[in-house]
Structure 1
Amino acid sequence: MTAKPMTKTQLVAALAEKMDADKKTATAALDAVAELVMQEVSAGGAITLPGIGKIMCRARPERQVRNPATGETMTKAADKAVKVTIAKALKDAVNG
């Protein structure tokens, strides 16, 4: 069984400890990074977080989908999806 994911409060506490700063500063830093990622990706760009991966917005074309309950085929409009490509360093650390 896997452990529960780290909450924002736990992440802020760990970040504050690593930065030798208070939790208010760590919260501001985390919120700033999240806001920058959101702005860049929602504008259609991509952002690389060194050692973690690359986050980008990908356009998906209009396509045919099937309702599994009824079997009915319908057309789903084109949309955008967020794609995360994991960095090799993180993959190696997990599998290492």
Structure 2
Amino acid sequence: MRKPELAAAIAEQAELTKDKANEVINAITDEITNALSRNEAVTLIGFGTFSQRERSARTGKNPQTGATIQIAASKSVGFKPGKSLKDSVNQ
């Protein structure tokens, strides 16, 4: 499912216009992004938790040449699904 399809489904369920549903999706994703950039976890009970994770520096390999390269430390986003989401996926 892509964003326009999600907006259409939300619009139908919540009896909103597609434009308004798209604004809601944008607001939600913007707030999740802002919280993660402040290193705050975002927990949606029953759905899951988004959190910022640290990746340490490590040694890698260039697949074309086989040369060893240093990969810098970075931050990434992790998602841990909630119990309800896991249960519905595993049925």
Partner Cα separation in structure 1 for residue 55 and residue 49 of structure 2: 18
Q: Aligned to 2:62, which of 55, 67, 71?
A: 67
Q: How does 1:49-60 map to 2 (within 5 A)?
A: 49-60=44-55
**Cα distance in 2 between the residues matched to 1:61 and 1:20:** 46
TM-score (norm 2): 0.88
- The TM-score, its normalising length taken from structure 1, stands at 0.84
SS at match of 1:70: coil
In the TM superposition, residue 63 of structure 1 has moved relative to its aligned partner by 1.0
In the alignment, what sits opposite 2:43?
48
Structure 1 residue 50 displacement after superposition: 2.6
Partner in structure 2 of residue 9 of structure 1? 4
Aligned residues: 91
Q: Which among 79, 84, 91 is matched to residue 89 of structure 1?
A: 84
Q: Deviations over 1:50-74 (max 9, x none)?
A: 3321111111111111122322112
CA RMSD in angstroms, aligned pairs only: 1.3
* Pairing 1:34–2:29 present: yes
Give per-residue Cα distances to partners, 1:28-65, cap 9 Å, x unaligned: 21111010001011222210123321111111111111
Tell me the distance in 1 between the aligned counterparts of 2:57 and 2:37.
19
Gaps of 5+ in 2: none
